[in-house]
A = this chain, B = another copy of it.
Amino acid sequence: MTGIAKTPEPPYYAVIFASQRTEGDSGYGIMADKMVALAAQQKGFLGVESARDEQLGITVSYWESLEAIKAWKENSAHGVAQDKGKTEWYKNFSLRVCRVERHSFFEM
């Protein structure tokens, strides 16, 4: 999952999810992988990028439309993960919904 997402030409949408984890795994790793696999099956999913170090995790998912983001937000299995995130996995997190206006890729 973890490379640079190959997305189509803008405009499209990005959800920037930044989070700080609680201590320990508590099933987080397995669920995180499962959520990526599930998101990838959603209509309008374009790709995902993710990185985590000791201080912060950032996952950016890319979507065709705001409707696709809404459908993913309301996905019931995702809802279970969202609840566990709030009660167990995260100390805090932020969600930002953005419209990607332009992008460029560089391969050296």
Q: Which A residues form the contact surface with B (CB < 8 A)?
A: 2-5, 10, 14, 16, 18-20, 49-53, 55-58, 60, 86-87, 90-108
Contacts and interface: CB of A to CB of B under 8 A. Distances in A.
Contact of A97 (B19, B57, B86, B103): B103
Nearest to A66: B101
A98 B103 CA distance: 9
B105 A94 contact: yes
Contacts of A50: 56, 58
A3 B106 CA distance: 27
Contact of A101 (B87, B92, B97): B97
A102 B94 CA distance: 11
A93 B49 CA distance: 12
Given A18-B60, A97-B101, 15 more contacts: A2-B53, A2-B55, A4-B19, A4-B93, A16-B60, A49-B56, A49-B58, A58-B58, A94-B103, A94-B104, A94-B106, A95-B103, A95-B104, A97-B102, A99-B99
